[in-house]
Amino acid sequence: MMKHIKFMSREKKTIFSPVWDYDLAIIDVSDEVDIPWLRNFLLEKEKELLLKYPPCTDDGGTRLGINSVTSKYSYYTIWEFEELNFLKELIRKYHDKFLNFIDQDPGKIYSQGWYNVMRTGEQIKEHGHIISPEYSYLSAHLTVACENTSTYYRNPITSEVFEEENSPGKLTFFPSYITHYTDAVVSSKERITMAFDIYNEVGYNEDIFDDMKYRWYEL
Ligand SMILES: [Fe+2]
């Protein structure tokens, strides 16, 4: 079942009043994904990615640091791993349901993705996924493993945060420009989340450099 949450400003009372209108969609896909298998796959792949790619100071603004698998995100895209092809279909399916729900035509979509493994004391600091504001489309999170953490999505005008408790198998779509952060991990078990950026056809054609298009897979 999809939970749809709308964030909308009240009627403008002055010419200078800000306006916002955006949507989040939250779906439990735990019965469609083999979460224990996915957890193990990502932990094994973490070892490989940490060995394969050199240190990079760009961790996407998460502040997880130079030793995190997050900081390898610019070297690869999650869609290179054929074992994860089923997730392309899953994201496509729920993206389309979300768009249909808000009376929009789903159209073609393209995605790149990465993942985060956080251990005791680690926290994703506030950041957004925007490339160019005018082409901003959707991003998504899939929680794979967690214990007592939430993700917080901030309204860019009011600064209010919407808290979404994490649970394995929860898929959340949000506009890419919405900044977000997480709680620190207090458990001794890893918190694992996957992240996907999605562009529509116009964004893919006009805002992704040709030499970067190889990272974006059509879903
Ligand atoms: Fe993020």
The per-residue pLDDT for range 159-208, each reduced to its tens digit, is: 999 999 999 999 999 999 999 999 999 999 999 999 999 999 999 999 99
Give the tens place of pLDDT for each residue, 23-73.
999 999 999 999 999 999 999 999 999 999 998 888 888 999 998 999 999
CA of 150 to the centre of ligand 1 (A): 13
pLDDT at position 120 is: 95
Predicted local distance difference test score (pLDDT) of residue 103: 95
Distance (Å) from CA 16 to ligand 1 centroid: 30
Q: What is the pLDDT of residue 1?
A: 84
- Span 109-150, pLDDT tens digits: 999 999 999 999 999 999 999 889 999 999 999 999 999 999
> Ligand 1 centroid to 105 CA: how many Å?
25
Query: Do residues 122 and 185 touch, judged by C-beta distance below 8 A?
Result: yes
Q: What's the 197 CA to ligand 1 centre distance in angstroms?
A: 9
pLDDT of residue 187: 92
pLDDT digits (tens, 9 = 90+) for 3-29: 999 999 999 999 999 999 999 999 999
Specify the pLDDT at position 130: 82
- 14 C-alpha to center of ligand 1: Å? 34
**Contact criterion met (CB below 8 Å) for 183 and 123:** yes
| 103 Cβ contact partners less than 8 Å away, ≥ 6 residues apart | none
pLDDT score at 79 = 97
Cα 11 to ligand 1 centroid, rounded to whole Å? 31
pLDDT at 176: 97
